[in-house]
Structure 1
């Protein structure tokens, strides 16, 4: 008998970034493996709603046709603000709209509800659906919340933070299964569960589809560096500015595909300092972003130095490996361990910008070492991060 699953997420195709791509892959691969998966999501709005009026982002005709399986909740046209209070009200609005939709769907028989967090408020609308439809709940944790909220240093109200911690513990306890995209989350989640808890925690990392993996790099005379992804509160924008200046001074091209609350600040810095070797690219589709990464020799990643971010495995790292592009990163913890053990690049203290740039120059003058790192990227992504292989962990739960 075919199982039926309702996936609840704020981020879904055509939303750019790791979260939207992750949920797209889960939805497609479940449906391709004899599971009837439906999506309950919002209208695309990250990093802003207006950009999705451009049909270039709607580049998957298969998903464009699956309208009966994709339910989109309309939301107000709000940009993702730095103001945490405004963002919280935005998330509460989504929770309220999801609850209304769950009531309309109450006669549907879903065997499982698969809900993705953050934000955690969507999870509580999933609890409503779990009771209403008598479904089992699979909770996906893509970020430790509220710890990550504290980590970006925008909100420190202890009363509300403590309330969020109570909600977080409740969230873990209500789930029959917990799915994580970083092994670094395991210890934290177990500490929030009872000692005798038997709730399974399943590691399901981000990754590429087989068709996205780059087997052969394009040979290009230009030595280009790339940064792709969020330029937000979790990233160290001051270090990124300094790297851009130092690469420009060394006549090395630096491509940046950036979006997020700090993107405008970074853009202004590049223009005001006449950094002519820094090329800024507007947010684009995953296909175009991977193409740009593929044409780069080295990729850069950054997270700020808060402990909570040592548990994170950023999706951009896997995208870099997918394109056979070695990584130089200012990260620690899980991300640093993955890069070091797979020998796909180099890791430095996030504030050690000079060491990062010096390593880029060393690689520029050592093409043989670059080739070895590229091959390590290819073998690692095939072995550990391929979606067609890892989706079996989720299929085993559902079946």
Structure 2
């Protein structure tokens, strides 16, 4: 049972004003929107919160046609007319448009006590700087410039130099920095950011979302991938696994996917005739968690680049909370979390064909008792480290301390 947050008596009569600025917010899908929406609900217990965000549009507008995005008067949304695109020039114009829209909305706001800026995209920070405020708090979900280098699509030195300059300037002006990965401590310190103003609040799971099923003997072992198929995700090893078990009806694969590389993934599946992969398409978070919870194994893959050594994808947290053993083509911080939880098998492209990895994967696919042991490990670790009621309430305390200058 989650602990009820006790509102300090000093705040029961008048709450401080906090403005969230974020590109993504519910009902938009993805870990970024999940994170900032959950944070909003928790800190609204102790602050008077407004939100500046965009109309949901990822991966497309059609997904949200039946969603009522105007029911909450505390949420102000702007509409982006430039759509998501794989073209880097178009994407830069998209970021420019949402930044300008955010600035125009920000300058109209009355003075607030805290601006809570969720990044990326980094240049939404311009909007935060235009708001009259006492404190600036930046929630970093990805290190912007490092991510640009990692996806290898924005290699223009001018763009990277401007990004580095603005990133350092913005972080140094922040009164508090929140990170969702402990792997961000070192890069931020290398930018000259004092560690004392950096606080780790990981992506977390609501009490109602924690699930742990008992593994039962079955004729089929289902391996699932859920989430974005974009520039930072690597699905090559998922396809390799499917190809390895193509003639084996006891192992089946499933994808709940969307994103900039999603169509290319489907094209490659068709080219390789991977008929053992079932495609489900876009689902809500609730639907996704329900489907994943009924799977036996979950996959995560990141592009192998130093930029992604420090990240922790939200899907890893979700998989752990659902008690699903993980197959991870990951290294760095993501690998360390899966290994610390003793919740799965990790490898890189270079090590994928090594005998030890092959044996571990074979045991995972064939041994129900082994999967159950890993599932219980995952669930226990998530409950200890990724509980929303603990982490986001701790964030509320940190924000209150920041207001008081502690």
Same fold (TM over 0.5): yes
Shift of 1:357: 5.9
Shift of 1:180: 0.3
Cα deviation per residue 1:281-304 (whole Å; 9 max; x = unaligned)? 111100111111111111111111
- Cross-structure match for 2:239: 241
**What SS does the corresponding residue of 2:144 show, helix, strand or coil?**
coil
Q: How many residues align?
A: 383
> d(CA) in 1 for partners of 2:270 and 2:211?
33
Unaligned runs of at least 5 residues, structure 2? 1-13, 401-406
- Cross-structure match for 1:172: 171
- Cross-structure match for 2:121: 119
2:197 alignment partner, one of 190, 195, 200? 200
> d(CA) in 2 for partners of 1:110 and 1:218?
51
TM-score (norm 2): 0.90
Distance 1:295 1:86, change over 3 A: same
> d(CA) in 2 for partners of 1:354 and 1:15?
38
1:45 alignment partner, one of 20, 44, 57? 57
- Cross-structure match for 1:91: 95
Unaligned runs of at least 5 residues, structure 1? 59-63
Cα deviation per residue 1:287-322 (whole Å; 9 max; x = unaligned)? 111111111111111111100100000101011111
**What SS does the corresponding residue of 1:135 show, helix, strand or coil?**
strand
**What SS does the corresponding residue of 1:67 show, helix, strand or coil?**
coil
- Work out whether residues 229 and 257 of structure 1, in 8 Å CA contact, stay in contact via their aligned partners in 2: yes
- Work out whether residues 318 and 385 of structure 1, in 8 Å CA contact, stay in contact via their aligned partners in 2: yes
**What SS does the corresponding residue of 1:111 show, helix, strand or coil?**
strand
> d(CA) in 2 for partners of 1:357 and 1:45?
40
- Cross-structure match for 2:267: 268
- Cross-structure match for 1:61: none
> Are 1:305 and 2:304 an aligned pair?
yes
- Work out whether residues 247 and 357 of structure 1, in 8 Å CA contact, stay in contact via their aligned partners in 2: no
Shift of 1:170: 0.4
> d(CA) in 2 for partners of 1:389 and 1:240?
34
- Cross-structure match for 1:214: 211
> Are 1:76 and 2:97 an aligned pair?
no
Give the RMSD, CA atoms, in angstroms: 1.8
**What SS does the corresponding residue of 1:308 show, helix, strand or coil?**
helix
TM-score (norm 1): 0.91
Shift of 1:77: 5.0
> d(CA) in 2 for partners of 1:91 and 1:172?
19
